[in-house]
Chain A
Amino acid sequence: MSQKDSFVKFEKVDKSYDGEILVVKDLNLDVPKGEFLTMLGPSGSGKTTVLMMLAGFETPTSGEIYLDGNPISSIPPNKRGIGMVFQNYALFPHMTVKENLAFPLEVRKMEKTEIDEKVGNALAMVELQDFGNRMPLQLSGGQQQRVALARSLVFEPRLVLMDEPLGALDKNLREQMQYEIKHIHEKIGITVVYVTHDQSEALTMSNRIAVFNDGKIQQISSPDILYEKPNSSFVAQFIGENNQLKGKVKSINGENCIVTTESGDDIHALKINVNNNGDGSLVSLRPERVAINSSENFENNFDAKVKELIYLGDHIRSRVEVCGNDQFIVKIPNSYKEANLKEGSTVKLSWKASDSRALDLN
């Protein structure tokens, strides 16, 4: 990514609240114009702090943030022109929906007619034309969410930040809103930085996802790469369901390596971030990449004992014991040929070496 592409740029940013603990450590991040970037991580990982620094409510302890090439650390939040959707919407309770939307336009001293037009357009965008004169508390959670979204966009900011905006909604509404936000982003092409701890939300909406842990970005890439090619065991575990087999590196051969588990089984895997023979490693493997009783010739073949079968409609989730791990999950599509699995029976599991990734041990 070249320098001129980066619309938002974090350069060596550190942040500490108490002078003892760094909540954000040496953050370097570039967001190109028009991108939907999600910062994903467990609570306390520093992702919200990064957002607050970008919005101007927190100042970096060291380093600099650039917006469109200009350093912004010394610009107060009200001069940054960044839209933001807050966790609990922060709609002003004493103003109607229209007044809420007009607020950012009024402080910019726009003409009355222009304000009316823009407010009307913003309401139309979120399909709330008939709700302009309601008070925020008279709206449902989803409607409030949309008003908050419209308010963050109505003054046409260059950048919109969203801080877990869907956290307070129930599951169905959340999924619906995910698509709506995604469509609005695609339609107006605005740059979005989105914070969430919900991985399916991140996967659904983002162009790129930055996985945060312990104040650092663990991995930043597109959703598919993040899911299929995690480069640390934290990311592998955090995104999607994941089987982990613990062992030691026995031999390394170019891009591949062999990891021996405590039960003495040798697993062929891709060498991702292990370096030396004898290093501890967690081999990561997605449940859907494991074949049961397959006739194909994969590098890894093991006998496994079925411990538990859980019927989930479209697939059967089975917990098996293999290579000394009895929490190994295999997803079996609910089709006729696999239907005769029994608890306690022994099956043959196989998977490709390229689907198993030898990651760090932590």
Chain B
Amino acid sequence: MNQTQTSTGPILTTDGIPLKVSLKKAERINKIRAFLLVLPLLAFILITFLVPIGDMLARSVDDRQINTVFPKTFEVYKKWDRQGLPSEEVYKTMFFELKNSEGYSVGKASTRMNYSKSGWKSLLKKSKRKFKKIEEGPFKEQMIAIDKKWADPEYWLALGQMVDPTTMGYYLNAVDLKYDSSKNIVQQKENRRIYNKTWIKTFKVSLLVTLFCLLLGYPISYLLATLPMKYSNLLMICVLLPFWTSLLVRTVAWMVMLQQKGVLNNLLVMSNLIADENRFQLMYNQTAVVIVMTQILLPFMVLPLYSVMKTISPTYMRAALNLGASPMHAFYKIYMPNSVPGVSAGCLLVFIIAIGYYITPELVGGKDGQMVGNWIAYHLKTTLNWGLCASLGAILLAMMTVLYWAYNKIVGIENIKLG
């Protein structure tokens, strides 16, 4: 009788409580404990990582700043038909809002306005100073008298880009595009196109670094994985040694090595391989960036490769030889396919780290070796154009996500092995 009950209804424990309920109850305490164990780290990551990233992403499209300084101006501006010059009313509200605003907020707003049309900043600065003498209207003529730019429709049209609280302007800027005065997307002027070149350069350098890391790391990992333990441990320490040295120290050491009067060039000259006047230019260019970053990122390639190769049984190679394959053929057909998870993990890791690299290009890259990371730092610290920083960062993040997604599609993320 009992049996028929249990076979139709939910399975019960001996106490008569449904098994699932009972199981949940028994597991709950474990779940709570697990959650409590990760809670500090979770909070830390949330506060120091996710929130700032979210904030930066928001900044990449945020355009409210100017609206808070000239709210009324924008109200009346919206009614303007964008033909000729705006009406007296627009000039009037602009006049009062500029005159009565604080210098600090005008500074910030004018910086933003300058991104749309350079010249705004000086215009506002000059005008605010001179507006003190003007008491009553009509304002249009008086403002034009202070500075002729007030009569240039270009400036007024540029203001139209800032009407909305959000903008794609920073993103356009990050790929050498901009809005023209009638809000069409156009290319930047020839001499201001710098970011596309930087993106290409960043990709090129990252790809080269990944390639060289793979070429250098694959044989070493193979050796590590096949040597007897006592030798492979020593070799492993050599591979990991760079990890224990400061990144800065290593980079500076490379500067000593590679500069024109540096160790490498001196050795080549001393051994009469090159003439004294033909010293290689190895420092402060892309070559330097690739060389130094390859050395720095090599362990990130070797470790995943090694951990995968360690699991490839040497009997596979023996079996392949035994079945008649030449050593090369056996390596190509048997060993390499089995090492693919390590290769892809290593390449992905190195590429992702390389694409956002900052300190090495900064120190050894010179003018030619600057990468996207350097521009982000530049705008963050020097020009304070955080919107552009944020958009550059967001594009970088998006590219990595796409890469990761593509990788997952092609190789499968579960195939990745880091150790």
Contact = CB atoms under 8 A, between A and B. Distances in A.
B321 A103 contact: no
Contacts of A77: 318, 321-322
B338 A155 contact: no
A82 interface: yes
B12 interface: no
Nearest to B327: A78
B319 A86 contact: yes
Contact of A104 (B324, B326, B327, B337): B324
Interface size bucket, A side?
Answer: 20 to 34
B130 interface: no
Interface in A124-156: 151, 155
B315 A94 contact: no
A107 B315 contact: no
B52 to A, nearest CB: 43
A93 interface: yes
B320 interface: yes
Nearest to A148: B319
A155 B334 CA distance: 18
Contacts of B321: 56-57, 76-78
Contacts of A256: none
Contacts of A82: 322
Contacts of B338: 92-94
A215 interface: no
A108 interface: yes
A78 B319 contact: no
A193 interface: no
B324 A81 contact: yes
B316 interface: yes
B142 interface: no
B11 to A, nearest CB: 31
B315 A87 contact: yes
A235 interface: no
B324 A90 contact: no
Contacts of A104: 323-325
Given A81-B324, A88-B313, A107-B325, A94 B319 contact: no
Contact of B319 (A56, A76, A92): A92
A72 interface: no
B33 to A, nearest CB: 35
Nearest to A87: B315
Q: Is the interface of B mostly helix, strand, loop or mixed?
A: helix
Nearest to B318: A57
Interface string A313-357: 000000000000000000000000000000000000000000000
Nearest to A108: B324
B321 to A, nearest CB: 4
Contacts of A87: 315
A56 B324 CA distance: 12
A155 B318 contact: no
B329 interface: yes
A57 B314 CA distance: 11
A359 interface: no
B318 A86 contact: yes
B216 to A, nearest CB: 25
Given A57-B318, A84-B319, A103-B320, A90 B325 contact: no
A104 to B, nearest CB: 4
B329 A107 contact: yes
A37 interface: no
Contact of A103 (B315, B325, B327): B325
A247 interface: no
A280 interface: no
B335 to A, nearest CB: 10
19 contacts: A55-B318, A55-B322, A57-B321, A76-B327, A77-B321, A78-B323, A78-B324, A78-B330, A84-B319, A84-B322, A86-B318, A87-B315, A90-B319, A92-B334, A103-B323, A103-B333, A104-B323, A104-B324, A104-B325
Interface of B: 313, 315-316, 318-327, 329-330, 333-334, 337-338
Given A83-B323, A107-B325, A155-B323, 17 more contacts: A56-B322, A77-B321, A78-B323, A78-B327, A78-B330, A81-B324, A87-B315, A90-B316, A92-B320, A103-B320, A103-B325, A103-B333, A104-B325, A107-B324, A107-B326, A108-B324, A151-B323
The 3 closest A-B pairs by CB, nearest first: A104-B323, A90-B319, A90-B315
